[in-house]
Amino acid sequence: MITTNTNIHTHTNNALKNNSVSQSNTDKLDINKPSATILTVDKLSIVTHTGETLVDKLSYQLRQGETLAIVGESGSGKSIASLALLGLLPDNLITTGDVQLANATGMAKLPIANDSARNKSLRAIRGQRIGMVFQEPMTALNPLHTVAKQIAESLHLNGTPKKQWRAQTIALLNDVNIADAVDKLNRYPHELSGGQRQRVMIAMALAQQPDILIADEPTTALDVTLQHEILALLDNLKHERNMAMILISHDLNLVRRYSDNLIVMRQGQTIEQGATATIFAHPKADYTRTLMQQDFGHALSIINDGDNQNDVLAVKNLNVKFPVEKSLFGSATRWFDAVKGLDMTLQAGQALGIVGESGSGKTTIALALSQLLSNQAQVSGQIIINGQDITALSKRELRKFRAQIQMVFQDPFASINPRMTVLQIVEEGLLVQGVDKATREQAVMASLNTVHLPSELAQRYPHELSGGQRQRVALARALVMKPSLLILDEPTSALDSTTQVTVVNLLREIQQKLQISYVFISHDLKVVRALCQYIMVLKEGMCVESGATEAVFNQPQHPYAKRLLQASTL
């Protein structure tokens, strides 16, 4: 539950109002007026130069204090339809239709067509009238600037005097429920958790007091408890500031609690539109029903051969520390315990799901198992794979051993080389191992076949593939090495729900076919339940509960595990 400080909000809003530039004030709406239409979109269409329709005659009205959710799969047109309002689309896209934004005197038409006057006209709209919270704050925030500097930039654009930047930045950070706001002022984005970065993005958007806030997939990379915290925070701020909000998501069930009206899109078409409660109670379109009732299936049954089954993975007393402060000469004076005394075992053909909130140590464990942590990290304990303690291997020995343990990362677009073809990406590990060209190509085609990708994609580049196809390429790259252990770090978080189901079914099929073992890290508990026979719940680097997945889901013992699993069913 999100708590708010009324005095802080009142102070912030009054301060921001008093220091807005006069021109902005003439355009802004009176937030004390009763709910009225603030935005009208009529037959918005977006077409490529080749004639492909990306958005087809999208129409809706948005009222003050209202949240409109736009839901659909990847490629449905939901994000570009909102970017078009701000003129943020590439010049090679043709935008038509009528968009009107309310001002103090009535409704004013927004220029959306690609011409030289568009950017100049929309400059006063971007941020000040329509704010935006982007999907991935780590890429949207400037990695070279502190939190204070980035929020100050928004305050500067809003006409706030420089002497008030610090006080208002602190007030905004308090507004978005960032603990110890003063301490965060001089932090850089990489020094914040995912949830904190998302809150900074929201604070930057609020600094200019927009009448409309567009939230584009604001919870995609967050764990389940943070998802609800961020959406509840946005909902509270919307009511307090009497804003309107456009919430873009691929998770139809998640927006159910936080939207008033709903548009379901598919391949640019509006499939269904209306009040959220009505659509959920009586969905008219088969596609809408499919999105509501995604079936991820069930994890494979546990096959227990007793003592005849050897452990593929055995971790004993794993500890990982990172330096927090260093002396003048570079030696660490204070350490942060990221993983504390962790034990785990995993047998052939089984999958272990590791779940927990942001900052619980999930990804650190994955990097430790893969021996991919930086030299600055202090790692102790044993990591035994197929009977070999890999922490005792030399660099040369580890290079040869790596074929047995492979990793699939969260973002396939960031983890594969955009300048390489699919063939080059998948064969790279074999090339390092010295495998001849004919054998490499044969192995690549077999691996692509395993992940259900057609052989003709071998000559394509990553930007020519969909998100689901890119993730299959990343999976094929790992499988071509024929590992016995595969570590998957949030491999479905960036995918829409339909693609998630496809990828989970594929992973289950590969697990059964190849008898490969998975360490599956995710914040999506329904995916973990559908794929993993065992589960481990992490909190602050420690395992608070573990066991057979169904047993933990049905009867969690630890209070934190109960809270985490309860949040997944909200």
Please report the DSSP string for 497-561 in residue order.
Answer: HHHHHHHHHHHHHHHHHH--EEEEE-S-HHHHHHH-SEEEEEETTEEEEEEEHHHHHHS--SHHH
State yes or no: pLDDT of 32 exceeds 70.
no
Average pLDDT over residues 195-212: 87
Which residues 6+ apart lie within 8 Å of 68 measured at CB?
60, 62, 244, 245, 246, 247, 259, 260, 261, 262, 263
What's the pLDDT tens digit per position in 61-89? Answer: 999 999 999 998 877 889 899 999 988 88
Question: In this structure, are residues 525 and 569 in contact, taking their beta carbons and an 8 Å threshold?
Answer: no
Q: Pairing state of beta strands 534-539 and 351-355?
A: parallel
- pLDDT value for 298: 87
State yes or no: pLDDT of 35 exceeds 80.
no
Three-state SS for 125? coil
Q: Give me the amino acid identity at 63.
A: R
The 10 Å Cβ neighbour count of residue 310 is: 11
User: How many Å apart are CA 558 and CA 570, to the nearest integer?
Assistant: 19
Q: What predicted TM-score, i.e. pTM, was given to this entire model?
A: 0.74
Can you tell me which residue has the tokens 């937030």?
A: 31
- pLDDT value for 13: 44
Q: Pairing state of beta strands 405-408 and 485-489?
A: parallel
User: How many Å apart are CA 364 and CA 367, to the nearest integer?
Assistant: 5
State yes or no: pLDDT of 205 exceeds 80.
yes
- pLDDT value for 357: 80
Three-state SS for 118? helix
Three-state SS for 166? helix
Average pLDDT over residues 368-378: 85
User: How many Å apart are CA 102 and CA 547, to the nearest integer?
Assistant: 56
Of the chain, the percentage scoring pLDDT greater than 90 comes to 40
State yes or no: pLDDT of 101 exceeds 70.
yes
What's the pLDDT tens digit per position in 252-269? Answer: 777 888 899 999 999 899
Domains of the chain: 6-292 (3.40.50.300), 310-567 (3.40.50.300)
Average pLDDT over residues 322-347: 84
Token duo for residue 567: 């949040």
User: How many Å apart are CA 112 and CA 555, to the nearest integer?
Assistant: 54
Question: In this structure, are residues 221 and 494 in contact, taking their beta carbons and an 8 Å threshold?
Answer: yes
Closest by CA position to 262, among listed 196, 254, 457: 254
State yes or no: pLDDT of 23 exceeds 50.
no
Q: Pairing state of beta strands 311-326 and 378-385?
A: antiparallel
Kindly tell me the burial class for residue 152, based on how many C-beta atoms sit within 10 Å of its own C-beta (0-12, 13-18, 19 or more).
Answer: buried
- pLDDT value for 28: 60
State yes or no: pLDDT of 284 exceeds 90.
yes
| Residue 34 banded pLDDT, cuts 50, 70, 90 | low
State yes or no: pLDDT of 491 exceeds 50.
yes
User: How many Å apart are CA 312 and CA 50, to the nearest integer?
Assistant: 52
User: How many Å apart are CA 514 and CA 512, to the nearest integer?
Assistant: 6
Q: Per-residue DSSP letters for 379-411?
A: EEEEEEETTEEGGG--HHHHHHHGGGEEEE-S-
**Is the pLDDT higher at 333 or at 126?**
126
State yes or no: pLDDT of 204 exceeds 60.
yes
Average pLDDT, the chain: 84
